[in-house]
A and B are shown apart, each in its own frame.
Chain A
């Protein structure tokens, strides 16, 4: 089944608080999955 191309709204977010001056507040919005570290590339890169 064909579908019309989606209308996308990719948000361009501009942080007003910054990690240098407002770190305590800034890190409150960092989720658990954001601190998980992957050790390999997801795709094979030549």
Chain B
């Protein structure tokens, strides 16, 4: 398949091979530490030299932070992975500016592990090997974030605040509300750029050919999520919230907020309050980003304490962005309705885009000829492994 076609599908050249190599590198590095045991929440870092190519990007050093969270589970589970671009903030332009050291990758792997049990490094290695088909696509996902960052090394501070606030918003631990905010995360440009690579990685690891593609696609979790987005509606959100009305009421009571008598009013209130709290979270993060760029420690302290002078450049920027974050202040319900329109649009677009990965699936004839080639190599290898 041509490089140009793979790029058009959103899968940079060599990224899938690099995901596999990164997995092997991590296992190799961890295998030197097999005498380690853990029995409480821990994080540790491994660093190693490597040679990962992603199109024209060459990653030569990798730093992986591994987090172990001891929780009530009976087996090890992959909770999340993360990527950390390193940058400074240009306060004159209110931009995050990458340090241009794209040859060095910082990432994280967060695992849930069973509490009341000692976990050995060998247990972690075994998990990372057994779950190859989950781990490698996720590593490829993080590599694609790194690749995208190298192509767009600057971004506005407000975008960083908005992405981080939405992704981290816990939605008061109300499940249907959290699913809604999870869907916002899925529809960000940052995520839609990496999803085809993640799916292509799963496809390649499973050796899916063109005749198997449809079955693979219909069972793929990312494809299923985008199909859910395509069909999501405001009425569905409300009906799901109604099913969880007890939790919603207990959250309101827990925060000393008077609970309305009618269910519809309770739903309306929790949606409005979630919007207020999301705006606050965006504002807090933006403030933190602007403050962290201030060189003068005294000025930083004063602004942290008293807020920005509304006549200063920082103040003008901050309050203008706050107005933008809170543009649905007078009708927060419209925020949800507009987001859902976006879900439907992105769900439709991304399910089609992922469907186009069919072009990358092996042709059964090609697969057959590859099998013949492998048999030929094996039978002519004088007993050596191929």
Contact = CB atoms under 8 A, between A and B. Distances in A.
B371 interface: no
A37 B298 CA distance: 32
Contacts of A41: 276, 279-280, 283, 326, 329
Nearest to A42: B280
Max count, chain B CB within 10 A of own CB: residue among A5, A14, A31, A42 = A14
Contact of B77 (A20, A25, A35): A25
A20 B89 contact: no
B103 interface: no
Interface string B60-84: 0000000001011100011111111
Contact of B71 (A18, A25, A39, A43): A25
A15 B372 CA distance: 41
Contacts of A4: 295
Interface in A7-22: 7-20, 22
Given A7-B88, A41-B326, A46-B323, A13 B172 contact: no
B267 to A, nearest CB: 14
Given A25-B71, A40-B276, A45 B134 contact: no
A7 B99 contact: yes
A2 to B, nearest CB: 5
Interface residues of B, number: 70
Max count, chain B CB within 10 A of own CB: residue among A1, A26, A28, A43 = A43
B160 to A, nearest CB: 6
Nearest to B295: A2
A14 B73 CA distance: 20
A35 B251 contact: yes
A15 B81 CA distance: 7
A12 B145 contact: yes
B78 A37 contact: no
Contact of B172 (A2, A6, A22, A35): A35
Contact of A5 (B163, B295, B329): B295
Interface of B: 69, 71-73, 77-89, 91, 96, 99, 106, 108, 110, 112, 134, 138, 141-142, 145, 160, 163-164, 167-168, 170, 172-173, 175, 178-179, 182, 185, 190-191, 225, 228, 251-252, 254-255, 257, 273, 276-277, 279-280, 283-284, 292-293, 295-298, 307, 319, 322-323, 326, 329
